[in-house]
Amino acid sequence: MASVRFQGVSKIFQKDILALAKFDLEVRDGEFLVLVGPSGCGKSTTLRILAGLEEPSTGDVFIDERNVTDIKPQDRDIAMVFQNYALYPHMTVYDNMAFSLKMKKMSVDKIDRNVKETAEILGMSDYLQRKPKELSGGQRQRVALGRAIVRHPAVFLFDEPLSNLDAKLRVQMRNELSQLHTKLKSTMIYVTHDQAEAMTLGDRIVVLKDGYIQQIATPLDLYDNPDNSFVAGFIGSPSMNFLNIELEKGVIHAGDTVLQNTPYEGIPDGEYLFGIRPEDIRPSEGSLLSGEVEVVETLGNENIIYLKFNGRQFAARCGPRVKAVPGKTFGFSMDFGRSHLFTSDGIKMRVNKN
């Protein structure tokens, strides 16, 4: 068990490729922290710096108040699980898990205890004598986790460990990882570009973009109170709907549309980006607001209706019985109390929501 601290850490590759801008981050002992962001935003670099596989350009990394910046990877008490976990194909599950302990010259008895205990945790006790090619994808992934767990590291690092699995198995393994964290109570740092994975796994989530931290918050706080339009658009599926608006004395003007009774009284007049989540749009026949239906996604438990509204595509999350026909007009209302307002540069405006 351990806490982790990044202090003024940055990474520049080849003199001018900024992978990580200077950042501070504290990961609490026993926390499940998720780093999320689009490809190339610096997620793996952050993990690699913590693991000691990459040197930071500036700053220091601490594990439990011990400055490990100049400490070799093998002496950091960290275990990392990658997307391409490459098990040793000629070794049994048992030997795959025992390998790093043998390297550490642990006694045969202790290795046996650790491997069997880990196999038990992962539900793999019956598979210890199999070779990787005799396992399913999910079972192989469990062995990869097992190789990390047997070492009882202070910190677990995961770099998109579920990317190679099919959608159903990903959800199952996600669930198992959550349970594993509850059981082990270890500090875990998990990298993904999948916002749903981030939301379901993280105690807290760090959103990264182009090497800059955009926001650090709990999943719900991130969803309800995004600090900027990038976070607002990145977290949630379908994405938040956006509209370029002009605000005049609390009244919204968007193209030909005028929206009264907004919660924006007191906000300076000017141009803003207005955001509303798909679930905060309701069907409303005869409403002043309407758009042409482009696509209807029937999911069984709900319908996602995509409309053209003011030149933008708007998604509305509706009940399964709500009818909408492509090409036809769809009237709707919005829950302004749950809307978001950003400056034209995408910075959140503080709004007193009514």
Residue 202 beta carbon to ligand ATP: minimum distance, rounded to whole angstroms: 16
Q: Which two tokens stand for residue 171?
A: 């959800």
| String marking each residue 7-46 x if it binds Mg ion according to CB under 5 A | -------------------------------------x--
Contact (CB, 8 A) for 2 and 64: yes
Contacting range for ligand ATP; rule: CB under 6 A; set: 13-21, 90-98, 268-276, 289-297: 13-21
Which of 1, 17, 108, 288 contacts ligand ATP by CB under 6 A? 17
Q: Does 39 bind ligand ATP (CB under 6 A)?
A: yes
Using the minimum distance from each CB to ligand ATP, give the nearer residue, 17 or 295: 17
Which of 44, 96, 118, 214 contacts ligand ATP by CB under 6 A? 44
Pairing of strands 212-217, 251-254: unpaired
Q: Which two tokens stand for residue 182?
A: 């509850």
- By a kind-dependent CB cut-off of 5 to 8 A, residue 14 interacts, out of Mg ion, ligand ATP, none, with ligand ATP
Contact (CB, 8 A) for 251 and 262: yes
Using the minimum distance from each CB to ligand ATP, give the nearer residue, 17 or 347: 17
Q: Which of 86, 29, 27, 19 is nearest to 49 (CA)?
A: 19
Cβ atoms within 10 Å, residue 250: 15
Using the minimum distance from each CB to Mg ion, give the nearer residue, 36 or 247: 36
Q: Is the omega angle on the peptide bond into residue 238 within 30 degrees of 0, that is, cis? A: yes
Distance CA 124, CA 135 (A): 10
Distance CA 204, CA 263 (A): 29
Using the minimum distance from each CB to ligand ATP, give the nearer residue, 98 or 213: 213
The torsion angles phi and psi of 46, rounded to 5 degrees, stand at -60, -50
- By a kind-dependent CB cut-off of 5 to 8 A, residue 13 interacts, out of ligand ATP, Mg ion, none, with ligand ATP
Residue 15 beta carbon to ligand ATP: minimum distance, rounded to whole angstroms: 10
Q: Which of 157, 226, 149 is nearest to 195 (CA)?
A: 226
- Under the rule (CB under 5 A), what is the footprint of Mg ion? 44
| Site residues, ligand ATP (CB under 6 A) | 13-14, 17, 19, 37, 39-45, 193
